[in-house]
Amino acid sequence: MGKISGLKMDLYRKYHQQTGIAWNVTAAIYERDEANDLALLRSGGNSLFPVEQLFLQGLNTWCGRAIHLQCAGGTDTLSLWQMGAAEVVGVDISENMLTVARRKAVALDAPARWYCCDILDTPHELDGSADLVYTGKGALPWMMAIQAWAGVVARLLKPGGKLYVFEGHPLDWVWDMDAATYQFSAQTGDYFTETVATDRGWPLFSGAIQEHANKDQFHVHEHQWTLGAILNSLVVAGLRLERFEEYPDLFWNQFPHLPPELAHRLPHTFSLLMRKEQPLERGNELNELEVG
């Protein structure tokens, strides 16, 4: 993972902005679900999957502030509050998504703050303030620079703070989404590709954008990071692995024709729990190495 030139970063930021414009239109779908999402939260329910809830149990005992990166309409963010985080912060590039999130938080009188920006530009006033950084469910592929993303995670966390990611498994990238068996996709059938895929699918083909008069004005850019790239970016940024799990379950219906018995033979989602090292831990490690 080499250092990225300023010119490349400018291009990646431009890609982020373009992708963000498409997501801003797609917020109409989140708006449509707003009343149901709010009812769920009001009733004390939450939208996190059972496995996420297992990883995040007991938040009330250790989590002052939880920061949700790419929070979309804020239902998962507010679920972190329902699960015990004292305060939640959502960051997303789409103002329309955050309008939906804000309305829910006001209706629930929840201690929530929302920031509209590219994740790479998450304000420095949040640095070192998070006991938990949470993200996933269709978040990482929109990041064009995984090392820069990992740097943001690290700077937001308090020393000893945790990162929890529940995300689509990058292996899914290689399969043809319309096939009835595992068949390599003609466009993305290479797990190790470094190529950015433009206008590959969601949210470009979502109802919200389909209904738009001139959908050619939208361009979205995806990069599927390998598990190695994700993990190593976070290690380089100063996080330590606590737990990693893979699951056969899909988190959205991306292979509608694939029979469940086939679907369940390969991983489709993963959990990643890491902790930002305390400065002392690193010092101890060095001493041990020197002694050994």
Ligand X SMILES: C[S@@+](CC[C@H](N)C(=O)[O-])C[C@H]1O[C@@H](n2cnc3c(N)ncnc32)[C@H](O)[C@@H]1O
Q: Which residues bind ligand X (CB under 6 A)?
A: 16, 19-20, 23, 70-72, 76, 92-94, 97, 118-119, 136-139, 142
Residue nearer to ligand X on the CB measure, 93 or 237: 93
**161, 276 Cβ separation under 8 angstroms:** yes
Residue in this structure with the two tokens 């797609």, named with its chain if needed? 26
Closest distance of CB 138 from ligand X, Å: 3
Residue nearer to ligand X on the CB measure, 203 or 277: 203
- Diameter of the chain measured on Cα atoms: 68
* Torsion (CA) 22, 28, 34, 36 in degrees, nearest 10: -110
Distance from C-alpha of 275 to C-alpha of 159, rounded to nearest angstrom: 8
Closest distance of CB 261 from ligand X, Å: 27
Residue nearer to ligand X on the CB measure, 76 or 176: 76
Beta bridge pairs of residue 115: 91
Distance from C-alpha of 184 to C-alpha of 196, rounded to nearest angstrom: 17
Closest distance of CB 129 from ligand X, Å: 18
What number of residues does the chain have? 292
∠173-192-274 over CA atoms, to 5°?
Answer: 80
Both tokens of 263, joined, read 């679907």
In angstroms, the Cα distances linking 206 to 71, 203, 225 are 18, 5, 23
Residue nearer to ligand X on the CB measure, 140 or 277: 140
Please identify the residue of the shown chain whose CB is closest to the bound ligand X: 138
Closest distance of CB 13 from ligand X, Å: 8
Among residues 107, 84, 110, the alpha carbon closest in space to that of 36 is found at 107
Closest distance of CB 242 from ligand X, Å: 21
Distance from C-alpha of 109 to C-alpha of 81, rounded to nearest angstrom: 11
Residue nearer to ligand X on the CB measure, 23 or 49: 23
Residue nearer to ligand X on the CB measure, 24 or 188: 24
The contacts of residue 36 (CB under 8 Å, 6+ apart) are none
Residue nearer to ligand X on the CB measure, 80 or 234: 80
